[in-house]
Structure 1
Amino acid sequence: MSYVKPAELATRILDAGESKVFMSTRDTLIRAYMAGAILALAAAFAVTITVKTGNALVGAVLFPVGFCMLYLLGFDLLTGVFTLVPLAWLDRRPGVTIGAMLRNWGLVFLGNFAGAMTTAVLMAIYFTYGFSVEPDAVGQAIGHIGEGRTLGYAEHGAAGMLTLFVRGVLCNWMVSTGVVGAMMSDSLPGKVIAMWMPIMVFFYLGFEHSIVNMFLFPSGLLLGGDFTVVDYLVWNEIPTLVGNLVGGLAFVGLVIYATHARTGPTREPKATAGQVPA
């Protein structure tokens, strides 16, 4: 059968987290770079659809195509390793240390950022004919996204920061569900369906994804958005990273680990009156 039961899924998750730690620096960077670039292109695709159709739901329904492609190709997002690698450490897998985990996170962050920035520059050239004209409607929309999701939070002070953090938590609850969803099935259609659903939810609800934002906000700056790099880091990227870590680990990784990987033995049913235990 193509469906993988939760107990086996938990084992696959732990094995995947362990494998990330021991991946070479070269492979980690290459896979993270491609993941960031593909996800950024999917974000540009979804924004383009939303602007041209005027329907955000259509953009959200089609955005997961990028997420599915990158995971089927074996590439890595920081939001995914935030969830997978700590579980391998918690399970005391040999060689999985705090230092090794932080090394993996750092390399994936750098690769994702470089890939997203590459796509940001290429799309900015695309939107402006090599910076020779004003950005088109889609380019202008991306610039405004950057303003609204930095200065918009800043206007609300502490309440805005809390909202930003919570959106980061909710985002990686859904995204990490998609990451483990790819392991729920051994068939290609099963993997795609399991990934598609939660990613569509996160994108339509406007949650904050640190890797998507590595594309949207640098793009916004390149396309004339009225905010600064400091606004981006303080009022989006850093709180989003923390929220993504908490959301993926608390609501996906630790839950599956606690109830499927570390669950107690199944109790034998008690015999009722008149029955002889088997």
Structure 2
Amino acid sequence: MSYVSPPEFVGKMIDAGESKIFMSTRDTVIRAYMAGAILALAAAFAVSITVETGVPLVGALLFPVGFCLLYLLGFDLLTGVFTLAPLAWLDKRPGVKLTGVLRNWGLVFLGNFAGALTVAVLMAIIVTFAFTVDPNAVGQKLGSIGESRTLGYAEHGAAGMLTLFVRGVLCNWMVSTGVVAAMMSKSVSGKVIGMWMPILVFFYMGFEHSVVNMFLFPSGLMLGGDFSIADYFIWNEIPTVLGNLVGGIVFVGLTLYATHGRTKTRGDVQKTPSELPTPVA
């Protein structure tokens, strides 16, 4: 599958982060919009499969198709740029500033939200015949997800907030591993296999993904879910975004950068990826 060694793909991670920081506003927003829309369609697809089969594992097995497509098309999710963009700043790439990292995160958030919200409206139209009938089984499920994953956490107070945050951390540990896995191979099949595995884990385990939730919760509000916009942001989106940020940076970006991007030999002689010997397979 044309395997790329860790020092090589960490170099690609840094390059990718740098390119995203310097990308124009137009391109950043378009790519984020399309990523949010495609991931939302994949989430709707997975919920539909789960409702029709009654087997959540089947929905989880097939959900990664959307993630694979959006990354093969070169689109960007907030969870991915949380991990990649800071590496260019940490690596002191010329012209890269913290303000550039924050700008990229903000634009991707807005683009992802707009794309996911578009699909939420379109799906709400489909499952209600343009709001002329009650939601079908898929619509009812979408409504119930929003309720259980806002008010369900709120019932537990601080413990619920901590649980939500940790689920966000674990989510982007897996999702960003999927982003990195796409860089581990030069072939399409290798990239897809690498991405599929961690995305399957995150979705089946019910971890909290900020962009998926940008679709699920607005859908729930439109389809009769008994929760408010404030419930959505306070008891899901904001803690999930923070958890995703920590999970991506700490457990994927920093760990890979520390051990493969700034590798040290005995005696603390620091070496960059280009100075290291090529690993023997």
Structure 2 length normalisation: TM-score?
A: 0.94
Does 1:165 find its partner at 2:170? no
Structure 1 segment 1-278 matched on structure 2, within 5 A: 2-265=2-265
**Distance across 1 between alignment mates of 2:186 and 2:266:** 26
Q: CA deviation at 1:265?
A: 3.7
Q: CA deviation at 1:266?
A: 6.9
How many Å separate the matches in 1 of 2:61 and 2:183?
21
Query: Could you tell me how far apart the structure 2 residues matched to 1:195 and 1:125 are?
Result: 31
Q: Which has the larger radius of gyration?
A: 1
Rounded to whole Å, the distance in 1 between the matches of 2:217 and 2:127 is 15
Amino acid across the alignment from 1:112: N
Q: Which amino acid aligns with 2:196?
A: W
Q: Give distance in 1, aligned partners of 2:60 and 2:96.
A: 36
RMSD: 0.9
Unpaired runs of 5+ residues, structure 2, are: 268-281
The alignment partner of 1:264 has SS state of: strand
Matches of 1:95 and 1:181 in 2, distance apart? 27
* Pairwise CA distance, 1:264: 1.3
Moved >6 Å (runs of 4+) = none
Note the C-alpha offset of 1:120.
0.2
Q: What one-letter code is carried by the residue in structure 2 that aligns with 1:146?
A: G
Name the CA distance, whole Å, in 2 between partners of 1:151 and 1:96: 41
- What is the identity, as a one-letter code, of the residue corresponding to 1:2? S
CA distance in 1, matches of 2:266, 2:153: 48
Q: Separation in 2 of the partners of 1:21 and 1:265?
A: 31
State how far apart, in whole Å, the 1-side matches of 2:129 and 2:112 are: 26
Letter of the 1:206 partner, please give it: G
In structure 1, what is the Cα distance between the partners aligned to 2:193 and 2:97? 34
| Secondary structure, aligned partner of 2:263 | coil
What's the counterpart of residue 270 of structure 1? none
TM-score by length of 1: 0.95
Q: Give the partner amino acid of 1:148.
A: S
Corresponding residue SS for 1:144: helix
Deviation at 1:39, TM superposition (A): 0.1
SS at match of 1:255: helix
The CA distance in 2 between the partners of 1:10 and 1:29, in whole Å, is 25
Instruction: Tell me the CA shift for residue 95 of structure 1.
Output: 1.2
How many residue pairs get aligned? The number is 267
Q: How far has the Cα of 1:96 moved from its partner?
A: 1.1
* Distance in 2 of aligned mates of 1:180 and 1:147: 33
Cα distance per residue 1:215-246 (max 9 Å; x no partner): 00000000010000000000000000000000
Q: Residue type matched to 2:170 in 1?
A: L
List runs of 5+ in structure 1 lacking aligned partners: 268-278
How far, CA to CA, are the matches of 1:262 and 1:78 in structure 2? 25
Q: What code does the residue aligned with 1:151 have?
A: L
- Partners of 1:266 and 1:139 in 2: how far apart? 59
Distance in 2 (CA, whole Å) between partners of 1:217 and 1:61 is 22
